[in-house]
Amino acid sequence: MARADGRQREPGRRELQTRLTESFGLRHPFVGAGMGFVALPELVAAVSEAGGLGVLGVAPEPPPVFLERIAQIRSLTSRPFGVDFFLAVSPTLGPITVDDHIKIAAAAKVALAVFHFGISDPTWVAALKAAGVAVWVQVPTLEQARAALAAGADGLVAQGVEAGGHNHSTLPLHSLLREIREEIGDRVLVLAAGGIATGADVVSALAHGADGVWVGTRLVASTEAYAHPEWKRRIVEARGHKATVITTLFGPEVPCLPYRVLRNPAIDAAIDRQDEVCALPPAGDPIGSTTLFPGTSFETQGVPMPTFSALPPTPDTTGDFDAMGMPTGEGAQQIRDVKPAARIIADMMGEARSIIDRRLASSPA
Ligand SMILES: Cc1cc2nc3c(=O)[nH]c(=O)nc-3n(C[C@H](O)[C@H](O)[C@H](O)COP(=O)(O)O)c2cc1C
């Protein structure tokens, strides 16, 4: 049967379809999390080509770099994709998202713009929507979900406490999803974020009211992710609930924000003093060196990483990996391998489909 995305269905196989797949013409209700540094054009295009929606992690790239990234994605895929804006003001870099980012996204007519940490400027929503760009907000609480809807959001990404990266949530994902759905009903799309790494996690998220999944950590352990192989290796080796922790230790670039990362010896040594440490200027020698804006004409090599730097290790990074922040969610404990994004998506969605078909639909007559 011919489909909105121009592809043929596999004979005998029904893919999961939701309001999300209908809205964006996707094969799967799967969105790649907009991860700064890691979800660069190669990963974004791979997710979109595989039938999900790839989302560029724009932070911390300034507008001219962002413009190049959009061109890079379009050279790799003609499928729809989104962009993710991180709203924070850095003492060293200034505001991470500015008017020109919004103008570029609107002019490029990307399919989707997502904001993390609220919407700071209502004119941004109006400008994006006027250009036909869907606007979502990633929210850690029901209160922020209400604020996002009041600001005009078309969709919400519910971020549970399990999620990797910057994370203000204190609620398990399923509780947050339930709270949001109970209040807003079916008014807008709601995606589930946090700890989703298997097909069973997908089924569970849909059962708790999600229209689709927003997946970060599982995609960090993909071939295309712009993450250092040592970080990918540590995700594959991570076991148990204590493998990751939310701490405010990391981020002289964006100080004292809660950040879920892989545990390491530097965290264990300082976590009891985290509120004090994060408010001080970084002490001691740099822990490593990295490259900003890789693969663009603004590439900057040899950038020193201060103690507890929020910059995650990319393939260009050198230094003490035991001291680096590796943003990672609780789903790491389910991840056993690094593989292409297309394989990850096909495996997760195939497993989800099988669970629904075999376990839920085949009760004895
Ligand atoms: C490596 C990494 C980087 C992230 N960077 C961003 C970001 O730049 N902007 C953002 O909105 N969220 C960011 N997040 C959070 C994700 O949007 C999402 O909440 C999270 O990945 C979901 O949980 P999971 O990692 O368990 O799948 C990041 C997450 C990870 C793991």
From the CA of 222, how far away is ligand 1's center (Å)? 14
Q: What's residue 284's pLDDT?
A: 87
Q: How far apart are CA 121 and CA 118, in angstroms?
A: 9
Q: What's residue 13's pLDDT?
A: 60
From the CA of 56, how far away is ligand 1's center (Å)? 11
Name which residue sits closest to atom 29 of ligand 1, judged by CA. 165
Task: Supply angle C-alpha 337, 338, 339, rounded to 5.
Answer: 110
Residue 277 is classified by DSSP as H
Q: Is the pLDDT of residue 362 over 70?
A: no
Q: Is the pLDDT of residue 53 over 80?
A: yes
Residue 1: pLDDT band by 50, 70, 90 thresholds? very low
Q: What's residue 164's pLDDT?
A: 98
Q: What's residue 257's pLDDT?
A: 93
Q: How far apart are CA 363 and CA 365, in angstroms?
A: 6
Bridge partner residues of 86 (DSSP): 116
Model-level pTM?
0.95
Q: Is the pLDDT of residue 318 over 90?
A: yes
Quick check: 51 and 345 in contact, CB under 8 A?
yes
Q: What's residue 281's pLDDT?
A: 86
Q: What's residue 161's pLDDT?
A: 98
Do you know the residue count of the chain? 365
Q: Is the pLDDT of residue 160 over 50?
A: yes
Give the distance from CA 215 to its chain's centroid.
Answer: 6
Give the distance from CA 187 to its chain's centroid.
Answer: 23
Name which residue sits closest to atom 4 of ligand 1, judged by CA. 35
Q: What is the mean pLDDT of the chain?
A: 94
Q: Is the pLDDT of residue 309 over 90?
A: yes
Q: What's residue 334's pLDDT?
A: 97
Burial class (CB in 10 A: 0-12, 13-18, 19+), 358: exposed
Q: Is the pLDDT of residue 2 over 60?
A: no
**For the CA of 331, the nearest atom of ligand 1:** 26
**Residue 121 burial (CB count, 10 A):** 15
From the CA of 82, how far away is ligand 1's center (Å)? 14
Task: Supply angle C-alpha 121, 161, 133, rounded to 5.
Answer: 35
From the CA of 312, how far away is ligand 1's center (Å)? 12
Q: Is the pLDDT of residue 92 over 90?
A: no
3-state secondary structure of 154: coil
From the CA of 361, how far away is ligand 1's center (Å)? 33
Give CA separation, 85 vs 96, 208, 297, in Å. Answer: 8, 26, 21
* Segment holding 319, helix H or strand E: strand 318-319
Residue 8: pLDDT band by 50, 70, 90 thresholds? very low
**For the CA of 33, the nearest atom of ligand 1:** 17
Q: What's residue 331's pLDDT?
A: 98
Residue 359 is classified by DSSP as I
The mean per-residue pLDDT over the stretch 79-96 comes to: 92
Q: How far apart are CA 129 and CA 109, in angstroms?
A: 10
The mean per-residue pLDDT over the stretch 253-270 comes to: 94
Q: What's residue 29's pLDDT?
A: 98
The mean per-residue pLDDT over the stretch 15-37 comes to: 97
From the CA of 33, how far away is ligand 1's center (Å)? 6
Quick check: 95 and 89 in contact, CB under 8 A?
yes
The mean per-residue pLDDT over the stretch 178-192 comes to: 96
Name residue 223's amino acid. T
Q: Is the pLDDT of residue 54 over 70?
A: yes
Give the distance from CA 243 to its chain's centroid.
Answer: 19
Q: Which residue has the tokens 């939310």?
A: 246
Q: How far apart are CA 26 and CA 51, in angstroms?
A: 5
Q: What's residue 267's pLDDT?
A: 96
Q: Is the pLDDT of residue 3 over 50?
A: no
3-state secondary structure of 191: strand
Residue 296: pLDDT band by 50, 70, 90 thresholds? very high
From 35, 202, 254, 328, the mutation candidate for ligand 1 (largest count of ligand atoms within 8 A of CB) is 35
Q: What's residue 358's pLDDT?
A: 85
Residue 329: pLDDT band by 50, 70, 90 thresholds? very high
Residues with CB under 6 A from ligand 1: 33-36, 38, 57, 59, 84, 86, 116, 138, 159, 162-165, 193-196, 215-217, 220, 312, 327-329, 331
Q: What's residue 5's pLDDT?
A: 46
Strand order in the sheet with 165-166: 165-166, 259-262, 244-247
Quick check: 319 and 348 in contact, CB under 8 A?
no
3-state secondary structure of 178: helix
ω before 60 within 30° of 0 (cis)? yes
From the CA of 330, how far away is ligand 1's center (Å)? 12
Q: Tell which residue, 204, 197, 242, has the closest CA to residue 219.
A: 197
**Residue 166 burial (CB count, 10 A):** 24
Residue 135: pLDDT band by 50, 70, 90 thresholds? very high
Residue 4: pLDDT band by 50, 70, 90 thresholds? very low
Q: What's residue 364's pLDDT?
A: 57
